[in-house]
Chain A
């Protein structure tokens, strides 16, 4: 596929990293150095110029492109680029990144001539709300309209003893779920029934949402349903998270540093309790019993502020901390500081966008461990070599089917179940094997 990527920032770079192997990429940016950094690492074409310019797009051969991804940090540039592309070449699919949920709304109402819109804030909010649903998970995602959930856990010695040191076949694990992978240091094990889980492992589980929650309880005993969440920062991301959690009936407290913003948010979200305070005041944290919240989300714009506030909250007893990180290197710092979950909006946005470049049969892609692994949602072909085989018989080649969606309903296959043509499968695999898996199925 011929893909134009406009914007070589963090989102653009992540997309390039995910797509450069299989596709023909042309990357546009105004910044020469960013382009140089990308072209040094990947075999892609670069164009120094404004992607929202008809001249530049035409010169690069927009009519040849199958897909245009506009992912600069400026919403309006992205929309203009997509609209120009539509005007020049109607068969080019356009995907636009936006940070403003309002554009998403306008697009849903069909008033924006763009094929797909991905909103960083909304996707980030979904990611955080999924994490909060299973607080023990490092990362979780849902497939097939929420019927299937993928969760990645760090197994510690605190985990329920029934998990540890026992062959998976014998352990009484939550029904309707499968351990899709055990990541052990640099290696990965696609487990068979005789494999054992050990403390220090990182495991990927695919199962029903209920099973994912049960897994959460096994991994971190004592965590229940979340009712009280504190969010620091009420920018677009913080507000989007608050709104989503409120919709799910979770109580939200918002801590906002700016007086005006605090007033506006309090007016906008009547069901939240808004505090005009910073997350850097230990007295405030104690007085308002912030530690009593089951989850603290740090959604301020500045990574360092999030880092400091999250650490302080931890010191004052916060049980579970989720932080939004904006710069990729911060992720390590946060993890080192013991912040439980980090969410990178740019990474999430890139993931959302990348799925448009996959095999059209692929409905969704989730990247794990910085795109070392992927979980795909794709439909099996009639002539696939696996169709007709029972799951017991299927050879394991660095991939595992965690769930199938048959006639719109999720099925969690047992060894005797047979894969049928047209089944949608939720499959875990290493990223480098994605083309292989797509071909095999």
Chain B
């Protein structure tokens, strides 16, 4: 026993070893944009250098902390929180090293890195199309890596992590509980990843087909790959300044379909598609509510923009559905600048930001299942006010949900709202301090959008805007919100507790 262990109840050294190992492997991902740079004759070295630096530090930390350690629940929180913090730094390195004027400031680059891995999709870049293609692909690819989770990837691909992985996965996978597809967590991770890769390839194929058949001339192989990387993970970075507005209506409908798929529980999708158990999907209460809310949100937005004469006909339907789906699934693509839409439509969009997709999907935000469970708990509370003795277990898909989980759901939602409010307040105050033109409603929308990993918000941070005008402090606040949102708050908040560090 080392002295440090006696002092701290957390095995920091062991946690660092895992983080170092993960980052060392993750740095290999820079080879992808390096390849693209090579292909387009752009500068390769920012990626190789970034990979070398991150890989070297990661491997160095891993080697220095080698030893016999035992990781359990406690260390899991630290590993997951740190991994994502460092991954965003890895994402930022090529931006800084490239020296591109739009992204070379470290704080801005770090924001962009976090927005990438956390699949938020809000960008500091003003003119996306001015960036080199290799840098663009790195932005897109970082979202694809972050989409289903870095640790899921590690568990699925890496030979051995020396940890069980269940706790790590529990903190990283969205939703109150993880749904396993096999007895070994590793096999679950592997299957989820295979499905993720398969969906990406299918979408890429469809985009290419649209381009090849002349339906959408703008969807070149480069853009097809770039958008395939960011649609399934419901991420939202685009290689076009006006996002999906640049593409044909058919392409937009395809994107809608795949955003919806990205918001479905991957375990459930695996059962339905691979194991041919469509009944499980039909009966799944979360999936049904998810689809119902998508339809409801779409109908409301379409009605609002059509009746207010902003748009009409198929254009209104497409724009309304795309916006509602993109927002609720926390993707953040856009086909219209909704800043000019009526207030009611904007309220609906803010509301949709707090919904999110299913647990075990690639979406951010609260998640449909938590809303479902909270609704059931509230209904039970009302019933029990009238009948104090009645015993009412809350069921999800006919299975009784443990009281512990229900409490966790309620406290999660409270914490989530608390952080959202704090974030909005910080942004509003800072905007007033620096003289940034940001209304209270805009501040609220930015906080909600960042925490829910949506991306675009209202005002200057709108679909066609950029977060570049925000002060460094605000940029850091937004970066923090993305980090908190991606890991669903709890693993990070736990680290702030004194009881976490002391036995």
Contact = CB atoms under 8 A, between A and B. Distances in A.
A256 B389 CA distance: 10
B404 to A, nearest CB: 13
A273 B390 contact: yes
Contacts of A273: 390
A167 B141 CA distance: 96
Contacts of B391: 256, 262-263, 265-266, 274-276
Nearest to A275: B389
Contact of B393 (A256, A263, A275, A288): A263
B387 A266 contact: no
B392 interface: yes
Interface in B54-84: none
Interface string B391-412: 1110100101000000000000
A270 interface: yes
A262 B390 CA distance: 9
A275 B387 contact: yes
Q: Which of B390, B391, B392, B393 has the most CB of A within 10 A?
A: B391
A266 B392 contact: yes
A353 B390 CA distance: 39
A266 B393 contact: yes
A270 B395 CA distance: 9
A389 B391 CA distance: 61
A277 interface: yes
B390 A275 contact: yes
Interface string A240-261: 0000000000000000100000
A273 to B, nearest CB: 6
A275 B395 CA distance: 17
A300 to B, nearest CB: 16
Interface of B is mostly: loop
Contacts of B400: 267
Interface in B370-393: 387, 389-393
A262 B392 CA distance: 9
A256 B387 CA distance: 14
Contact of A270 (B387, B389, B390, B398): B398
Contacts of A275: 387, 389-391
B402 to A, nearest CB: 10
A421 to B, nearest CB: 53
Most chain A CB within 10 A, of B387, B390, B400, is at B390
A284 B388 CA distance: 9
Contacts of B393: 263, 266-267
B398 A284 contact: no
Interface residues of A, number: 15
Contacts of A277: 389
Contacts of B392: 266, 274
Interface string A271-297: 001111100000010011000000000
B389 A288 contact: yes
B395 A274 contact: no
Contacts of A265: 391
Interface residues of B, number: 9
Nearest to B387: A288
Interface in B193-219: none
Contacts of A262: 391
Nearest to A267: B400
B112 to A, nearest CB: 49
A277 B390 CA distance: 8
Contacts of A284: 389
A192 B393 CA distance: 58
A239 to B, nearest CB: 14
Contacts of A288: 387, 389
A267 B389 CA distance: 16
A288 B389 CA distance: 9
B489 to A, nearest CB: 29
A385 B391 CA distance: 62
A288 B386 CA distance: 9
A219 B392 CA distance: 39
Q: Which of B387, B393, B395, B398 has the most CB of A within 10 A?
A: B393
B382 to A, nearest CB: 15
Contacts of A270: 395, 398
A263 B398 CA distance: 15
A276 B392 CA distance: 10
A100 B400 CA distance: 24
A278 to B, nearest CB: 10
B407 to A, nearest CB: 15
A187 B387 CA distance: 51
A275 B389 CA distance: 5
B390 A274 contact: yes
Contacts of B390: 273-276
Contacts of A267: 393, 400
Contacts of A266: 391-393
Contacts of B389: 275-277, 284, 288
Nearest to B388: A287
A261 to B, nearest CB: 10
A156 to B, nearest CB: 36
Nearest to B386: A287
Nearest to B392: A266
A263 B391 CA distance: 7
A124 to B, nearest CB: 24
Nearest to B383: A273
A265 B390 CA distance: 12
Nearest to B395: A270
Nearest to A259: B391
A289 to B, nearest CB: 10
A328 B95 CA distance: 88
A257 to B, nearest CB: 11
A277 B392 CA distance: 13
A256 to B, nearest CB: 7
Contacts of A287: 387
B248 to A, nearest CB: 49
Contacts of B398: 270
A277 to B, nearest CB: 4
25 contacts: A256-B391, A262-B391, A263-B391, A263-B393, A265-B391, A266-B391, A266-B392, A266-B393, A267-B400, A270-B395, A270-B398, A273-B390, A274-B390, A274-B391, A274-B392, A275-B387, A275-B389, A275-B390, A275-B391, A276-B391, A277-B389, A284-B389, A287-B387, A288-B387, A288-B389
Interface of A: 256, 262-263, 265-267, 270, 273-277, 284, 287-288
Given A276-B390, A288-B387, 14 more contacts: A256-B391, A262-B391, A263-B391, A265-B391, A266-B393, A267-B393, A267-B400, A270-B395, A273-B390, A274-B392, A275-B387, A277-B389, A284-B389, A288-B389
What are the nearest 6 A-B pairs in CB distance? Answer: A277-B389, A275-B389, A274-B391, A267-B400, A262-B391, A266-B391
